[in-house]
Structure formats: structure tokens, C-alpha cells
Chains A and B, each alone.
Chain A
């Protein structure tokens, strides 16, 4: 196997995945960004600022919490939750936004744009834009605006303009298309904060590096608590940033097992899902080569998931590579399994997870009972579920005698 920590190569490739499949208009800018980021990575002053904002503004480090009741409930592995939901704005997304906005500032950009699905990345972007005094435009699918109302309001309160995207199915991929169109039109002054480990190089590597703080902290925290590395890591996968952030610092530790959980929707065989690795084929979209949901003619098929943040027909290219290498195991959880795990987490731990995160918990529900209590399993609790109250009430409201939230 190649040395995973040294990828991508100079062309942004992870094996055959990744790359820079963008319009010529964007190329000079992407090359500039690549240089700026390479410099920032080794610039002590940039790293000092990043650490400062991650600490005092985001609230890092996030705790690694032993979920005693959840562990007992499943009766197997010892489950630890990496509490990314306690970050400012309620998800891991801000780890990346803080890094990118500092870069935008350094590059003298005057305007921030972003795509969002669940709205967590949109909120995190609107937040850092407010903090750094930059105007901000968020592209969000019309369907997602419908199911993530609280986040739409939060973005507006933070001063962002939220532009509904009606092309395609009005979900995350369409929002990303629209953000890319804005970007080619406003290359001079605009910084595009991509919210996951996708897009053209250097984004997949850059977003991963900003999220890798999750894995680095986990290493240190588990060593302190148990004097050793965890046995397995579990994370949900939309584009794959919270998973990449947790996994990457452990890739060279052969004994640490990693499991990425895609959104299985109504089931991977139903055609209504968002599981690009389990139900897709390689192709090129949004600037990189990766696994995609597409028909035999290379037209992208709409993803389906109860969770807006996982409703994306692609996956970050590094995951595609790790999948082909067999280093990470990629599974899927259905809407129903996620809803079930969502409730268990609420009742056992007093933590309301995001529906995205609930997919990771659904895999824990399958796996933990088969393992001994010495097995240390870390789950990335990527976000909190406040934003999902409306969707969950829609599915479970009857059970609680609730119609609207």
C-alpha cells in the first residue's frame, strides 16, 4: 500500500481519484489557492491564529466522552463519543470554516460564498463571515430550505444572503453547481468555502487538514484515558469531512479499524439512497474524480436521504481511494435505522444528535453488541439535532402526540 499520509500527489490525486476537473476560468485561482494554502500550512503565524480561533471561538478541544449508558444498552464495545456537536454552531463544520476564512482574509478576498445541504455548513460559514466582517452568500437547495427552516433563519440572522436553488432536485449537488457558477462569475474577489472533502484540489486535502484536529485530539484523549489507541472509529459520510477528519491521523495505525457510514435511504437496492461507494460507480463531478450515483450514460442521479447533510450523489475522492485500498470499510444505514438510533441516543445519553450523525450511531447499534467491552469504539458525534426537529416530528411526531415543531 502507498503511504496514505503523503497523499494527494502534486496534481491532487489520491490514486486515480481527485484531480482538478474545473473550467479554465477557475484554474489560475485554484493554483493560487493551492500555493497560499501550502504556505499557510507551514506558517507559524497562520497556525497560531487558527489555534486561537479553534480554542476561544469554536471551543476546542471537544470532549471525548465515554458513553456509559449507550455502551450498556448495546451490551458490547465501550463506546466513546467525540463531541463535535458541542462546537460553536453545533457541528464539526466550523473547524473547516475557520481555517478557510483565515485563508480568504490572507488572500485579500472580499466576499464569501458557500453551498449547504443541512444548513450546518451554511450556518458555520455565515458565522465566520460575520466574525470577520465579510459579506456572505449561501446557496441552498429549495427542498433543503423547506426541511431545514431553523438553519435558514440562523443564516439570515447572521447576515448571510440565502439563495434558494431550484435547478435539479433542489438539494446539495444543485447548490454546489450554483456556487461554482457564482465563483466563475466572481473569481476576482470571491472565496468559495467548500464544506466537505470534495471539489477540486486543493479542497479535499485542505478541508481534511482543517478537520484532522478531530482525529489528533481523539488520539491524545484516548491515550490519556486508556493509555492506548482506539480499536475502531465510526463516522457518517455525506461528502466525508467529519469522517476524514477523524480517520486521517490514524491511517498508518494498521490496528485501528475505520468504518464510514453512508446514507442508505430506503435501502441501497431501492435506488433511493445516497450511498456513492456502496451503490455508485467512478465518474467526474464538481472538480474531482470519485464514486458517483449516475446512470449508465454518465448523468448524475439524485441522492435520497432523510438527512439533508448526507443527500449528495458523490463522496470525497480520498474516501474513494481508501475504499479501493480496503483501508476503510464503507457500509450504509437506512433512514429507518438512523431514526431508531437517533431515539436511542436521545434516551440513553441525553444527547440529541443530528440525523446525519444518527447514521453513524445506527452502525454502532449493529456492531457494538458483537464486540467485547475491551473494544474501544469512537463515534464522531458530528452535530447536534436541533435543526432536525421538524423532520423528526414529521416522521415520529405521532408517537409523541406532536404535529409541528
Chain B
């Protein structure tokens, strides 16, 4: 089911390949968010490895942090489950490395907060991440004002720095937000934390269209997308839809590791089917 055929990856990035291929298929990417190590290392590895098969085009993998200020209860709890079960930055990178042994096409974007990266050491982190096969980074608490911390060094390691644009990003600020962006733009659908509810599709479509006037990069929409129906509606006008809390909830409600895998991949399949047909 994977959207992308084996490609020669010499010059273009996996993310670019992915979006180009999907454009040809006239459909948006399905982006999944899961926290690395949630609920435990073994289950998390299984969940990750089977995501492309279930229909995910781009994987966001959360690096758990003790103080996730921009996350709602679902992802907060996921981070705690992972940390309680011993997840570390090194283990998260190792998960990516193992994934890459089997899959060389599906882009992986690590998402999280700056402190665990800062403590790991920025240069060391970027070196290890590039080696493991990480394609991009989303770091919630690094606005463009701090680009010299990680965004610029990441570029030197060939890792995209995916920028968040939000409903509060006005015309005056947008150029600054877009300046060093690469990979894609992540439009945060609401001013709020993860796990809330999405605004009306009309408002979202307007926002995405406005963004397009300022950037050639693909635009993903996330925060508050939970159902196949929502994914289809939003996928009509965006280049990617991100589903996070709804998948993480599947893990919380699961009775066992097997059950978590069944539930997550069940929802992913629904979402995947829905984004594949949404523009016809």
C-alpha cells in the first residue's frame, strides 16, 4: 500500500519524494503521530514497523518529554507511559535505525521539545539522527527567533526543520516563520494544545490557501483531526493530514500490546482509505 515506489534517493529527500509521488496520485499524505516507547519499547517498535503497511505515508515519532507544555492530556499521558517504561533519546534513535533496516522510503519526522535534544548535545543528536535515518524535526518550543540553536545546524546534517504556523501567525510574522522552513509546513489548526477539537473546514481552507501564497512547501494540517471523515474533508485542500491524539488514545484504551497494535492499525487503515478517495 505504500505510496512511494523505491526511488533513487541520491539528491532529493524522502519527504520530497513522498510529496511528489502523492501529488501524482492526487491525494494528501496521511501523517501519523505516536510517542516513541508508548506504551512500552516492544509494542512501540511493532506499531512503528507496521505503520506504512497500514497506510501511513509520513511518520511523526514523538520524543517523550516530562513537561510537554503544548500537549493535551492524551499525549501527556503517552509521554509518561513511555518514560516510565524507560524510553530515552538514544532508544528513540535506535528505533528509527531499526525501522530503516526494513524501510528506506517512508519519511520519519521526530517531534518533541528542545530540552532532551539540548541535553543529548545538538551536534551529537543531529549526527546520530542523520545516521539513523531521521528526515525531519518538529521542535515545538523553538520559534524562528532561536534558529541558530537547532534549525540551522540541522540543515547542515541534511535534516529538515519543519515549522509550525498557527492561527496567531499573522501576515507580519509569516515571513519570519517561513524563512528557514524546509520539508513541509505544519499548520496548527487551532490556538491550543494537542487533543482539542478542530475548527470548521471553511476557516481551515482559508488559512491553508493564504499560506500557499507565501510558500511553495507542502502544507500539512494537524491538531484536532480524529476521524476518517475529518481527514477526508481537510485532505481535499491540504497536502497532508496529521492524526495524533486519536491514535494515542487507542493505545491508552488497549488491554494489551496486541490490542494496541490492532486498534492503532485499524484506525490507520480507515484514515488511509479515506484520504485515498477524498479528492474524487
Contact = CB atoms under 8 A, between A and B. Distances in A.
B70 A181 contact: yes
A255 to B, nearest CB: 37
B118 A286 contact: no
A184 B143 contact: no
Nearest to B113: A284
A92 interface: no
B127 interface: no
A24 B114 contact: no
Given A25-B166, A28-B169, A284 B114 contact: yes
A20 B145 CA distance: 8
B66 interface: yes
Interface stretch (B16-24, B151-159, B189-197, B245-253): B189-197
> Which of A24, A26, A177, A283 is the most central at the interface, judged by chain B CB atoms within 10 Å of its CB?
A24
A21 B141 contact: yes
Interface in B150-191: 163-170, 173, 177, 188, 191
A298 B67 contact: no
B66 A300 contact: yes
A292 B196 CA distance: 30
Interface in B192-228: 192-193, 196
Give chain B's interface secondary structure class.
loop
B70 A184 contact: yes
Contact of B76 (A20, A22, A167, A185): A167
B116 A298 contact: yes
B171 to A, nearest CB: 11
B141 A181 contact: no
A197 B166 CA distance: 27
B193 A298 contact: no
Given A28-B170, A167-B76, A185-B196, A298 B143 contact: no
Contact of A298 (B68, B89, B169): B89
Contacts of B65: 298-299
B47 interface: no
A23 B70 contact: yes
A184 B191 contact: yes
> Which of A31, A286, A298 is the most central at the interface, judged by chain B CB atoms within 10 Å of its CB?
A298
B67 A173 contact: yes
A286 B69 contact: yes
A173 B141 CA distance: 16
Contact of A21 (B146, B169, B188, B196): B146
Given A28-B170, A184-B191, A284-B114, A177 B143 contact: no
A43 interface: no
Contacts of A281: 119
B143 A299 contact: no
Interface in B111-133: 113-120
B196 A24 contact: no
Nearest to B190: A185
A300 to B, nearest CB: 5
A24 B115 contact: no
A180 B69 contact: yes
Q: How large is the interface on B (under 10, 10 to 19, 20 to 34, 35 or more residues)?
A: 35 or more
A115 B72 CA distance: 17
A42 to B, nearest CB: 23
Nearest to B119: A298
B69 A181 contact: yes
A294 B166 CA distance: 30
A21 B114 contact: yes
B139 to A, nearest CB: 9
Interface string A283-320: 11111000010101111100000000000000000000
B67 A177 contact: yes
A267 interface: no
A27 B141 contact: no
B115 to A, nearest CB: 4
Contact of A187 (B66, B118, B165, B168): B168
B54 interface: no
Contacts of A173: 67
B143 A287 contact: no
Nearest to B83: A299
Contacts of B233: none
Contacts of A6: none
A25 B143 CA distance: 9
A180 B68 CA distance: 10
B174 to A, nearest CB: 10
Given A28-B173, A287-B141, A181 B119 contact: no
Contacts of A11: 145
A288 to B, nearest CB: 10
> Which of A19, A180, A185, A299 is the most central at the interface, judged by chain B CB atoms within 10 Å of its CB?
A299
A281 B170 CA distance: 36
A397 B260 CA distance: 51
Contacts of A24: 143, 163-166, 168-169, 177, 188
A346 interface: no
Given A25-B168, A299-B66, A283 B146 contact: no
A183 to B, nearest CB: 10
17 contacts: A23-B69, A24-B164, A24-B188, A25-B164, A25-B168, A25-B188, A27-B143, A27-B145, A27-B168, A27-B169, A28-B173, A168-B67, A185-B192, A281-B119, A285-B115, A286-B69, A299-B66
Interface of A: 11, 19-29, 31, 167-168, 173, 177, 180-181, 184-188, 281, 283-287, 292, 294, 296-300
Given A23-B141, A167-B76, A181-B70, 14 more contacts: A11-B145, A20-B145, A24-B163, A25-B192, A27-B145, A177-B67, A184-B192, A281-B119, A283-B115, A283-B118, A297-B116, A297-B120, A298-B120, A299-B116
Q: Sort A-B residue pairs by CB-CB distance and give the 4 closest, nearest first.
A: A298-B119, A298-B116, A185-B192, A299-B66
Interface of B: 65-70, 72-73, 76, 83, 88-89, 113-120, 140-143, 145-146, 163-170, 173, 177, 188, 191-193, 196
